[in-house]
Amino acid sequence: MSIYRNAVWFVKGLQEYTKSGYEAAAKHFSPADLDVNLSDRCFMVTGANSGIGKATAQEIAKRGGTVHMVCRNKERAETAKGEIVAQSKNENVHVHIVDMSSARQVWEFAQSFSQNNKLHVLINNAGCMVNQRELTEEGLEKNFATNTLGTYILTTALIPTLKKVEDPRVITVSSGGMLTQKLNVDDLQFEKGTFDGTMAYAQNKRQQVILTERWASQHKEIHFSSMHPGWADTPAVQSSMPSFHAKMQSKLRTEAMGADTVVWLAASPAAVKLPSGQFFQDRKPVATHLPLASSRSSPQEEEKLLTALEEFAQKFKP
């Protein structure tokens, strides 16, 4: 990982990714953008039982949208659903139990869901940062399986369903941490060298941005976007990055601040007036590379990523 990239990224983060960065950006937001009635639209939010996913589901439910919460833990999901229904007064909130690190489970869920439901907006929010190298039951490195392959399978499996509706959208919650990474297609499962969970997570987030760009070019009928929520005080940050959380806690955004751009991309008419495939921060498209960072990948490398993901996806397809 480039020392230059890390240093530039951290300085940028202190200015832009913190609570004060959000407050400065929010002065330019149009309140009318989210003055919308979503009662005729269906949204799927992965990782919806806490953090940014739950805050997103809550804001959509408040505006009348039907919400499909995709969660791994049934008890936590049902608790979160109860809170969302109570606060939004919207009963159209549904829980689906899926482990996003299991390629086969993701396939089975997507196929079953497509047969019985319509979908207007997919929000790929579920993610993990596992700090020790760990394999899933399918033999895949857990960060890669959850953040990249799970997102790839769910999205590609639901694209035909999304194409059946008006104004379909896909939003993937990436991270500004991806700016520290150049795509590495030769070690997708982090088998070489010393394992670093933070680096693995950032690499996965770079992969998500590239997938978003590729999907946008392939599927013009759907509006795709990826986004950075900023540095938010979520349970995931507390558990995966305890020292960062301890040092930065007073500067971190709330979960609602982190979710704001997700909700805007999912619900606002203004969002789809912008080109598909872009990376957003605080409701604005931003660069996907730091200046002079040498983090760009070639079209061949990106094609190699898509080929590898498709091979994995087909291997686990029921």
For residue 41, give the CATH number of its domain.
3.40.50.720
In order, the DSSP letters of 161-228 are HHTTSSS-EEEEE--GGGGG----TT-TT--SSS--HHHHHHHHHHHHHHHHHHHHHH-TTSEEEEEE
CA dihedral 59, 63, 66, 71 (to 10 degrees): 10
**Is residue 115 exposed (0-12), middle (13-18) or buried (19+ Cβ within 10 Å)?**
exposed
281 three-state secondary structure: strand
Tell me the residue range of the domain where 128 lies. 3-315
Q: What integer pLDDT is reported at residue 10 of this predicted model? A: 85
| Residue 87 CA from chain centroid, whole number | 24
User: How much is the mean pLDDT over the chain?
Assistant: 95
Average of per-residue pLDDT across 119-143:
97
> 245 pLDDT band (50/70/90 cuts)?
low
125 within 8 A of 52, measured Cβ to Cβ: yes
Does the CA dihedral 87-69-281-179 come out positive or negative? positive
Rounded distance between C-alpha atoms, residue 47 and residue 101, angstroms: 12
Model confidence pLDDT, tens digit, residues 153-211: 999 999 999 999 999 999 999 999 999 999 999 999 999 999 999 999 999 999 999 99
> 78 pLDDT band (50/70/90 cuts)?
very high
Q: What integer pLDDT is reported at residue 240 of this predicted model? A: 66
Number of structural domains, the chain? 1
Q: Which of 41-50, 60-69, 140-149, 245-254 has the lowest mean pLDDT?
A: 245-254
- Report the largest interatomic distance among the alpha carbons of the chain, rounded to a whole angstrom: 51
Average of per-residue pLDDT across 69-96:
98
110 within 8 A of 159, measured Cβ to Cβ: no
Q: Is 201 a catalytic residue?
A: yes
Q: What integer pLDDT is reported at residue 26 of this predicted model? A: 97
> Residues with Cβ < 8 Å from 239, sequence gap 6 or more?
none
Q: Which of 23-32, 81-90, 231-240 has the lowest mean pLDDT?
A: 231-240
Model confidence pLDDT, tens digit, residues 11-64: 898 889 999 999 999 999 999 999 999 999 999 999 999 999 999 999 999 999
> pLDDT: is 147 or 8 the higher one?
147
Rounded distance between C-alpha atoms, residue 47 and residue 195, angstroms: 25
Give counts: helices (H), strands (E), the chain. Answer: 12, 8
Rounded distance between C-alpha atoms, residue 307 and residue 313, angstroms: 10
Q: CA separation (Å) from 23 to 177, 229, 230, 232, 260? A: 21, 13, 12, 13, 12
Q: CA separation (Å) from 72 to 75, 162, 260? A: 9, 23, 24
